[in-house]
Amino acid sequence: MKKLTGLAALATAAALALSGCGGSDKPDGSSGKDAGDKELTLWLAGNDTNDDLRKYLKDEFSKQNQGWTLKIETIDWGDLVTKLNTSLPDAKNSPDVVEVGNTQSPTFTNVGAFMDITDMYKELGGDDLLQSFVEVGAVDGKNYTLPYYFGSRYMFYRTDVWQEAGVTVPKTLDEFNNAVITITDKNPRGIKDFSGFFLGGSDWRNGVSWVFANGGDLAKKDGDQWVSTLSDPNTVKGMKQLQELQQKASKAPADAKDQSPWLYINDTDEASEENSQTTNTALAAATIMAPGWAHWSIGDPTIGADGQPARNDGGVIIREWNPAKFGVFVLPGNDGKPAPVFAGGSNIGISAKSQHPEQAKSLMKIIFSEEYQKMLGGAGLGPANSQYVSSLGDDEFAKALVDSALNSKLTPAAPGWAKVEAAGLLDEFFGKVAQGGDVAKLAKEFDDKITPVLNNG
Amino acid sequence: MTSHSPEAGQSGKTSAAGTSRLAAPDAAGSSDAQGNGASAVRLRKRAGRTGRAHRSGRGRTFRWTPYLLIAPAVGILLLALAYPIGWQLVTSFKEFGLAQQFGQPAEFNGLDNYIKIVTTGETWMVVVRSVVFCLVNAFLTVAAGTALATLMNAVPKAVRLILQVALLLAWSMPVVAVMTVWNWLFDWNHGTINWLLVQAGAEGYSRHNWLENPLSFYGVATVIIVWMSVPFVAFSMYAALTQVSGEVLEAAQIDGANAWQRFKGIVVPMVRPVLMIVLLLQIIWDLRVFTQIRMLQDRGSFPSETDLLGTYIYREGVGASHFGMAAAMSVFVLLITMVAAWPYVRSLMKEETI
């Protein structure tokens, strides 16, 4: 009896313990459709596609498909891989058309999650489409996902602080490295913990430019196997430069990722303004590297009718770009041309389990139409079709975006790449280098960790 | 069927905290009601009596009512637990990755997943870290909770009410809200903690990053987790303390026992059953801690240095899409939990049969 009650108690304890690992049945991102419901589901990642673009897609889709409506669901970037994992294989819950990060695309195209749309390739833009993105969406010469939009990264800098430190816009990578170290040393405004160049230690998406600029890469295909190439001499050289910058120019924590670096380049930030003490304490960096759309978050606060900083619906202060203080330039490479940057952006494709392939293809045609591509450019997103790049405009941001994108690179098209990212292996490698670790030793250690994941589809 | 697998790993995200917190009011209720375990004994006696009556009496009709009454509960338990656990057990013996999730047949690979787990050095590092972290947190929580309960027992009613309301507020705060606030407090750039330390003269804490060093990371995690779990222990222990008879304490006082002697010699033995249950629950919860660690990791630190079992499984399962491995890992954690809990469960049983 005693033993039996003991077992019963243990079983209950076990049930409690297991329920943590068991799980709920219903994926929360489901788009449950009833039979006969004439609705097509489109998943968009994040809020980069603005409301005007969404409205256009919905209206145009209903116009071209009598009796059909388009349902757009927004998935957070952070949840995207998980939700694709659970929903794409399930015909009942699969969205029909899906936006997927360009680096995540190979993982899913390699397991057959997307429909073969090779027959539409020409019609949707063909060789005018951004080829590096087309490649990550293709397997064995067949097209599964196509570019949706591209973004790029460039430098935002404080023209006033650079001038006070007596440095000018650099022409080569070495000049850049020296300039930001000089600014840090001179610290013209005497700000505590001031960074000439603020770069999160674990921010590999921006930091990888130093690897690319020195001729290194993250991985390469050797025969039919992918190999991590962190130990490659060129990669090590780039990482050593980065390490020097981290030690001498950046005061960012070694574990910081690429979240909101613009906080450090503005004179004031939210925290100080909320206490209505608009001081200069927030300024902590003379230079940052960020995706092009960061310029909406950089500038001086606009003052509303009540004399307080004006805020948007989300409560975020609306900023106005001030050319007297801020400027942009493209990170130069060693040859004076733009250094290769890691391209941002995403791909789009039709789920292999879509129940409405006809309508899904119709939506793809709308997305790749001249009108929508130009709308993308108007919204500051690089259009997939290079014929319409001029729609980005010709201001300094558009120029920097196009110049840096011309020499942009993508992450390796290895089947396991999304897993390398999800496991945080590169964040950790870059972070440990930023801490001041032995680059060659760390490179070897992470090569050994990353190579098996690359090939494991 | 296949669509469940990532959920199995992911659920840790929500239900590690979810279930433990959900289970809490129940547990609080039952340990409340049990007081010193007497009601359980009473229940068992009653059950025995019915049994005898059934055998010796006119046992012509089989009593269906009790079974009918528990049927829905058993049914729900089977549906909600047996299926996912069964699926998890089966998956743990399979090679199950992203390809299988997208329709490739999942093949059984025997004990491969388990062998990989026990032969990976990192697993054991994570196990050791988790066990140490769990013990430190569980004992700190129970100590702090008991101290607060003793305080509640000693102070006037008004003060006690304020204390109880404060504890309830802390207890009822959703974990994501709690973590957001704590993350702000410990923020390296704008954090209140750093600001206070600098104001107090510790200049070195300006822009101090609390999460980069693993030990400091666990220190922050411990503060948060203890803060979140103390109310449950405090309320349970307070309920137990109210059952300690005043006369006994008075008699001891007359006999010359001082306050500490009375606490150690009378109060603790009398509330021991509740203390043990609370400690057991804390150990189980703290071994499975997930949300707090995960949200701190989102903020900073290197995951491989700060992973505990929950986040390790999540990274393996959802992050790397090794669902088979993650399932095996979860079963492995279950075994660890059972081994860790067994001595406590046994001693609990002993207490109750006396």
φ/ψ (deg, to 5) at A309: -55, 135
Residue B59 confidence (pLDDT): 53
Would you say residue B11 has pLDDT above 50? no
Residues 238-277 of chain A whose Cβ lies under 8 A from any Cβ of chain B: 251, 253-256, 263, 271
For A254, name the nearest residue in chain B, comparing CA atoms only.
B212
Helices (H), B78-191: 83-91, 98-101, 112-119, 121-154, 157-172, 175-185
Residue B353 confidence (pLDDT): 59
For A2, name the nearest residue in chain B, comparing CA atoms only.
B349
Better-scored residue on pLDDT, B158 or B16: B158
- pLDDT confidence tier of residue B352, bands split at 50, 70 and 90: low
φ/ψ (deg, to 5) at B324: -60, -50
The kind and range of the H/E element at A136 are helix A131-136
Q: Is A424 on the interface with B (CB under 8 A)?
A: yes
Closest CA to A360 of A40, A72, A126, A67: A40
Dmax (CA) of chain B:
84
Residue B56 confidence (pLDDT): 46
Average pLDDT of the residues in B172-201: 90
Whether residue A165 sits in one domain with residue A145: no
Does any domain span residue A201? yes
β-strand A69-75 against A287-291: which pairing, if any? unpaired
Q: Give the minimum alpha-carbon distance from B217 to chain A in angstroms, rounded to a whole number.
A: 12
Does any domain span residue B38? yes
Between the CA of residue A160 and those of A165, A179, A188, B171, what are the distances in Å? 9, 14, 10, 50
Does any domain span residue B264? yes
Does any domain span residue B327? yes
Residue A385 confidence (pLDDT): 92
Query: B289: domain CATH number?
Result: 1.10.3720.10
CA angle B45, B51, B57 (to 5 degrees): 130
On whether the CB atoms of residues A410 and A102 are closer than 8 A, the answer is yes
Strand order in the sheet with A153-158: A287-291, A153-158, A326-329
Does any domain span residue A85? yes
Average pLDDT of the residues in B45-64: 54
What is the full per-residue pLDDT of chain A (457 aa) written as tens digits? Answer: 455 455 555 555 454 444 444 333 333 334 444 445 689 999 999 878 888 899 999 999 999 998 999 999 999 877 788 888 889 988 888 999 999 988 888 888 888 899 999 999 999 999 999 888 898 899 888 999 999 998 888 999 999 999 999 999 999 999 999 999 999 999 998 888 899 999 999 999 999 999 999 999 999 988 889 999 999 999 999 999 999 999 999 999 998 887 778 888 888 765 444 444 444 457 889 999 988 878 888 888 887 777 777 887 767 778 888 888 999 999 999 888 899 998 888 999 999 999 999 999 999 999 999 999 999 998 888 899 989 988 888 888 888 888 888 788 888 878 888 778 878 889 999 999 999 999 999 999 999 999 988 887 5
Whether residue A262 sits in one domain with residue A356: no
Work out whether the CA dihedral B159, B161, B164, B168 comes out positive or negative: negative
Cα–Cα distance, A443 to A437 (Å, whole number): 10
Closest CA to B145 of B215, B204, B226: B226
Does any domain span residue A176? yes
Cα–Cα distance, B317 to B294 (Å, whole number): 14
Residues of B with CB below 8 A from A90's CB? 2-3
Q: Which domain holds residue B151?
A: 16-53+121-353
Does any domain span residue B84? no
Between the CA of residue A423 and those of A179, A207, B316, what are the distances in Å? 35, 18, 8
Average pLDDT of the residues in B285-305: 89
Please write the tens of the pLDDT for every residue from A197-251.
999 999 999 999 999 999 999 999 888 899 999 999 999 999 999 999 999 999 9
Whether residue A69 sits in one domain with residue A182: no
Domain count of chain B? 1
Whether residue A446 sits in one domain with residue A304: yes
Does any domain span residue B34? yes
Using DSSP, state whether A218 is helix, strand or coil: coil
Q: What is the pTM of this model?
A: 0.76
Whether residue A388 sits in one domain with residue A304: no
Q: Give the minimum alpha-carbon distance from B155 to chain A in angstroms, rounded to a whole number.
A: 35
Q: Give the minimum alpha-carbon distance from A147 to chain B in angstroms, rounded to a whole number.
A: 23
Residues of B with CB below 8 A from A2's CB? 349, 353
Residue A123 confidence (pLDDT): 94
Residues of A with CB below 8 A from B97's CB? 456-457
Whether residue A351 sits in one domain with residue A334: no
On whether the CB atoms of residues A434 and A393 are closer than 8 A, the answer is no
Whether residue A278 sits in one domain with residue A369: no
Q: Is A188 on the interface with B (CB under 8 A)?
A: no
Domain count of chain A? 2
Whether residue A252 sits in one domain with residue A319: yes
Would you say residue B174 has pLDDT above 90? yes
The half-sphere exposure of B8 on its side-chain side, counting CA atoms within 13 A, is: 33
Does any domain span residue A14? no
Q: Is B94 on the interface with A (CB under 8 A)?
A: no
The half-sphere exposure of A14 on its side-chain side, counting CA atoms within 13 A, is: 17
Whether residue A204 sits in one domain with residue A65: no
Between helix B5-34 and helix A77-87 the angle, nearest 10°, is: 100
Query: A84: domain CATH number?
Result: 3.40.190.10
Q: Which of B12, B97, B206 sits opposite A456 (nearest CB)?
A: B97
Q: Give the minimum alpha-carbon distance from A5 to chain B in angstroms, rounded to a whole number.
A: 7
Whether residue A137 sits in one domain with residue A162: no
Q: Could you please report the per-residue DSSP string of B10-23?
A: HHHHHHHHHHHHHH
Whether residue A397 sits in one domain with residue A352: yes
Does any domain span residue A258? yes
Does any domain span residue A213? yes
Please write the tens of the pLDDT for every residue from A180-190.
999 999 999 88
Residue A102 confidence (pLDDT): 86
Please write the tens of the pLDDT for every residue from B58-116.
556 778 888 899 999 989 988 888 888 898 999 999 888 888 888 788 888 888 889 98
| Mean pLDDT over each residue of chain A, to the nearest integer | 85
Whether residue A44 sits in one domain with residue A167: no
What ipTM does the predicted assembly reach? 0.74
- pLDDT confidence tier of residue B342, bands split at 50, 70 and 90: confident
Joined together, the tokens standing for residue A349 give 């494709």
Residue B239 confidence (pLDDT): 94
Residue contact A20–B4, C-beta within 8 A: no
Instruction: Say if residue A309 is exposed, middle or buried (CB neighbours under 10 Å; 0-12, 13-18, 19+).
Output: buried
For B22, name the nearest residue in chain A, comparing CA atoms only.
A16
**What one-letter code names the amino acid at B127?**
V
On whether the CB atoms of residues A334 and A90 are closer than 8 A, the answer is no
Q: Which domain holds residue A167?
A: 153-340+423-455
Joined together, the tokens standing for residue A185 give 């040393």
φ/ψ (deg, to 5) at A289: -120, 130
Cα–Cα distance, A86 to A30 (Å, whole number): 9
On whether the CB atoms of residues B301 and B217 are closer than 8 A, the answer is yes
Does any domain span residue B144? yes
Does any domain span residue A95? yes
On whether the CB atoms of residues A364 and A348 are closer than 8 A, the answer is yes
Q: Is B291 on the interface with A (CB under 8 A)?
A: no
Does any domain span residue A30? no
Would you say residue B293 has pLDDT above 50? yes
Residues 142-181 of chain A whose Cβ lies under 8 A from any Cβ of chain B: none
Beta-ladder partners of A221: A226
Residue A280 confidence (pLDDT): 43
